[in-house]
Amino acid sequence: MGNSIYSMIVGTGVGIPSRILTNKDFEKMVDTSDAWIKERTGIEERHIVEEGRYTSDLCAEAGLNALTDARLKPEDVDLIIVATVTGDVGFPSTACIVQEKMGAINAAAFDIAAACSGFLYGLSMGNAMIATEQAKTVLVIGGETLSRVTDYSDRGTCVLFGDGAGAAVLRPAEGNRGILGTYLKSDGRFGHLLHIPGLGTRYLPSHDTLDNHMHFIKMEGREVFKQAVMAMGDAAETILNRTGLTGDDVDLLIPHQANLRIIDATAKRVKIPPERVFVNVERYGNTSAASIPIAMDEARRGGKLQDGQTALLVAFGSGFTWASALVRF
Ligand code: ACO
């Protein structure tokens, strides 16, 4: 993409469920402790979707909040991209359901499935659609209800995940603000280390799939951890190299919020000190595709990311997929 800037983020918003599960709650459900969870992950609590609300509801709320922030209306949107691995139904896409819920009658809409990297895949796609003049106002949303696919009898995974949605509005760039570059990468050889085997067409629902909890997240935590540290470091370093910047040029690192130890390792790799790293994993757990847009919105509203400042966004997830973006706000 050279050094041209095509699109900029003009608004952000979130949709967060009000129910909260604390580490203490898990002590009553599985053999774990608040101390273990905090020490090994940094997580203290996570939000869980209310009965009767779905991924599309959280996404529509985030999308409408982002549009309000951008002083735009749903009718102004001409493309909705939803990144999710916990869509409402097999089809139609969650993006189409979100379009209907928002009243974004002039938009095209589609989903991206890249797990925790999904929002950055969506941001890259939205940027490309604006660069090629196929869209002017793009709503990129990352939203998940991981609680619906979490096995609350598996202590190795259940403490990690939470629900939520975050959104960003992209418009054609003005001045030197905008997306300076994006980097996407995948390695399908590692798919089996983090997956939901029983929610597609390979295994149709049966007593067997239910008895084996195949509709829930399965993860080899230790292996995923190792790969995540390497891939997040690679993504952070690559986008800096491509744009000719260093960690010193980054005002705020916003990494995918999965585990505090992975976040620390990523920051060290590109020599960004803790005071320039955004962390909210303690309050949300891992919300997959929603994690970066939720963090970005909190950073902006909390004054940690101001106009003119540069953020480095980095993610890693099932696939494996990993991605990064440099954005000047
Ligand atoms: N409470 C208490 N003990 C636990 C728990 C728990 N909740 N979970 C696991 N343990 C135990 C294990 O059983 C094991 O016991 P053993 O030694 O008797 O066998 C011990 O703790 C150590 O287990 P490890 O898996 O080695 O623990 P680790 O320090 O690696 O932490 C964790 C586990 C937190 C899951 C970590 O591996 C991790 O964060 N992995 C990466 C997850 C991730 O980042 N995913 C990102 C992508 S997510 C996406 O795409 C949706």
7-176 and 180-328 in the same fold: yes
Q: Which amino acid residue places its CA nearest to atom 41 of ligand 1?
A: 225
Please give the Cα distance from 312 to 296 (Å, whole number): 10
DSSP 78-128: -EEEEE-SS-SSSSS-HHHHHHHHHT-TT-EEEEE--GGGHHHHHHHHHHH
Measured over the CA atoms of residue 153, residue 154, residue 159 and residue 161, the dihedral's sign is negative
Q: What is residue 3's predicted lDDT score, i.e. its pLDDT? A: 65
The number of the ligand 1 atom at minimal distance from the alpha carbon of 224 is: 41
Give the residue from 234, 301, 310, 308 showing the smallest Cα distance to 276. 310
Find the residues whose C-beta lies inside 6 A of ligand 1. Answer: 32, 36-37, 40-41, 115-116, 155-156, 159, 194, 221-222, 224-225, 228, 258-259, 262, 286, 288, 316-318
Q: What is residue 191's predicted lDDT score, i.e. its pLDDT? A: 97
Of 23, 65, 259, 286, catalytic: 286
The number of the ligand 1 atom at minimal distance from the alpha carbon of 26 is: 7
What kind and span of H or E run contains 187? none
47 is catalytic: no
Domain boundaries, the chain: 7-176, 180-328
Distances (CA, A) of 7 to 125, 218, 296: 11, 37, 17
DSSP state of 129: H
Q: Which residues contact 206 (CB under 8 A, 6 or more apart)?
A: none
Ligand 1 center–CA 197 separation, angstroms:
20
Query: pLDDT 10s digit of each residue in the chain, 329 long?
Result: 456 999 999 999 999 999 999 999 999 999 999 999 999 999 999 999 999 999 999 999 999 999 999 999 999 999 999 999 999 999 999 999 999 999 999 999 999 999 999 999 999 999 999 999 999 999 999 999 999 999 999 999 999 999 999 999 999 999 999 999 999 999 999 999 999 999 999 999 999 999 999 999 999 999 999 999 999 999 999 999 999 999 999 999 999 999 999 999 999 999 999 999 999 999 999 999 999 999 999 999 999 999 999 999 999 999 999 999 999 99
The fold adopted by the segment(s) 180-328 is Peroxisomal Thiolase; Chain A, domain 1 (3.40.47)
286 is catalytic: yes
Q: Which amino acid residue places its CA nearest to atom 48 of ligand 1?
A: 317
Q: What is residue 1's predicted lDDT score, i.e. its pLDDT? A: 44
Ligand 1 center–CA 159 separation, angstroms:
9
How would you label 96-105 residue by residue, b for 16+ Cβ within 10 Å and e otherwise? bbbbebbebe
59 is catalytic: no
Place of tokens 């509005």: 169
To 10 degrees, the CA torsion angle through 28, 31, 36, 42? -60
The fold adopted by the segment(s) 7-176 is Peroxisomal Thiolase; Chain A, domain 1 (3.40.47)
Contact between residue 111 and residue 83 where contact means Cβ atoms under 8 Å apart: yes
Residue 287 in tokens: 């919300």
Q: Which amino acid residue places its CA nearest to atom 50 of ligand 1?
A: 317
Ligand 1 center–CA 315 separation, angstroms:
19
Tell me the residue type at 82.
V
Of 47, 116, 127, 195, catalytic: 116
